[in-house]
Amino acid sequence: MTRTPTPAFTRRALLAAMPATGAALALPSVASAEAPDPVVRAYHDWMAARREWGALMGRPEHGNGDTTPVLDAQQREYEAEERMLTETPTSLEGIAALSALAWYTMGPSSTDPEQFAREVDTHESRLILALWRGCTGQDGYPVS
């Protein structure tokens, strides 16, 4: 005996519902406008600590970087980076922040322009840049 599906569960109804269902399952829950993206907050903290560390290292009294202010800035940078890696982004800005971190840790590292251009053209760098462009709409390199 063959069984006829009820109208609510026809093949057509199932197929029609799949795109919406698939989209709902594939997307993480998005934070409300009142709740800022935790990855973006961590990114701003990370950038501030990096700027502070760089400014401190440019001053002769901090020598090779083993002074308390330098070590504190470096610790804040590491802590913010860890938060970026453990929090879940809830916005395109959060994903862009992660792409900036990826660019910093895995992107080109050469200061030689020709070598840098070769490193930018690697599969990994191009992937990071595609994510950055997709999230920000900006050309150029992620801000890190």
Closest CA to 96 of 138, 63, 61, 57: 138
Which residues, at least 6 apart from 11, have a Cβ–Cβ distance to it below 8 Å? 5
Q: Which of 19-23, 53-57, 68-72 has the lowest mean pLDDT?
A: 19-23
| Residue ranges covered by each domain of the chain | 36-90, 91-144
More confident residue, 55 or 6: 55
pLDDT in tens, 89-116: 999 999 999 999 999 999 999 999 999 9
Residue % of the chain over a pLDDT of 70: 76
More confident residue, 135 or 29: 135
More confident residue, 137 or 14: 137
Instruction: Please give the structure tokens belonging to residue 17.
Output: 């519902």
Q: What is the overall mean pLDDT for the chain? A: 83
- What is the b/e burial string over 10-46, where b = at least 16 CB atoms within 10 angstroms of the residue's CB? eeeeeeeeeeeeeeeeeeeeeeeeeeebbbbbbbebb
Q: Is the pLDDT at 7 greater than 70, yes or no? A: no
Helices 92-106, 38-57: inter-axial angle, 10-degree rounding: 40
